[in-house]
Amino acid sequence: MTARRVALLAFAVALPIGVGCGGGGGGGGGGDTLQLSCVDGGAAPANAVTLICGGATNSTTERVDVVLGGPASGTTTLRGLNFDVIYEPANLEYVPAATDTSPLFSPNALVAVRLSDDQPGRVIVSIQEYGSVVAPVSVGAGQHLVLSLSFRRAAGVTFGPTPLTFENAEATSAVPAISFGSALALSYQ
């Protein structure tokens, strides 16, 4: 673990934990110049969805991966995920993707990712398999990328660690239940 990693761990301890546990970290740049840095809580726990740093796209943009932790054994089935990702709109901007897809769900799954029209700093996400004839998604052990979101520094600001958290999060038809938790923070300084 690097010195930077230690500092991130200390920051992670200070963050409130919502549902589930966070852990791990990575991403971000550093050094003498300003850049957007990302710290996460590590890999997603079993049957939990968390946010993990996906890497910098450039000095001001960071990809944040939504990852589902597979069960320790056996499989977990689910038909969809709904959640809001909350961030500080004074510091960050959500960067919509050209196409929202989910590598975890089937190619035909309905995927909706939009900024709330009345609540800045809220990205509303929904991924749903549809129809009763389509089998639920079955996941085994391991880390499973649900989809990636991109954020960039708001223009003209520098800021210290600002968290990205879940709200209104729930899994659809998940067996066993799936929890959501995030320990990811972005800073630009």
Partner 1 sequence: MNKRASFLIASLLLLAAESAAFAQTPILSFDQAAGFPGDVVTLRLVLTTGGIPVVAAESAFTYDTDQLTFVSASVTGSALTAGKKAVATVESGVLERLTVYDDGTNWSTPIEDGDLPLMRFRIAPTATPGSLLTILTHDCSVTVAPATKRAATCGTGLVFVQVAGTSPVISLGEASGAAGTSVTLALGLATNGMLPIATETTIAYDASKLSYVSSAAGNAASAAGKSVDPSVAGGVLQKIAVYATGGSWNTPIGNGDLALITFQIGAAVTPGSQLTVSISGCKYTIAPATTTDAACGNNGSISVSGAATCPDADGDNYAVCTATCNPAPGKQCGDCNDGNGAVHPNTLEVCNGIDDNCDTVIDNGQAALCDDGNVCTTDACGGAAGCTHVNNSLSCNDGNACTQADTCQGGACAGLNPVVCTALDLCHNAGVCNTGTGVCSNPAKPNGTACNDGNACTLNEACSGGICGGGTARSCDDAQACTADVCDPAIGCLTSVTNLDTGGFSAARVDGRDLVVLADAYNSCPGDLRYRLAANLDRVQTLPGACIDGTDFHLFMVSFGHNCP
What are the residues binding partner 1 (CB under 8 A)? Answer: 79-84, 110, 112, 114-119, 124-133, 167-168, 170, 172
Task: Pick the closer one to partner 1 by CB: 119 or 138.
Answer: 119
**Is 112 exposed, middle or buried, given 0-12, 13-18 or 19+ CB atoms closer than 10 A?**
exposed
Smallest separation (angstroms) from partner 1 to the CB of 161: 27
Task: Pick the closer one to partner 1 by CB: 74 or 96.
Answer: 96
End-to-end Cα distance, the chain: 22
Smallest separation (angstroms) from partner 1 to the CB of 17: 20
Q: Which two tokens stand for residue 83?
A: 């959640």
Q: Which two tokens stand for residue 177?
A: 């239940």
Which of 161, 176, 126 is closest to 25 using CA atoms? 161
Task: Pick the closer one to partner 1 by CB: 8 or 125.
Answer: 125
Q: How far, in Å, CA of 157 to CA of 44, rounded?
A: 30
Smallest separation (angstroms) from partner 1 to the CB of 61: 21
Q: How far, in Å, CA of 34 to CA of 189, rounded?
A: 5
Smallest separation (angstroms) from partner 1 to the CB of 64: 18
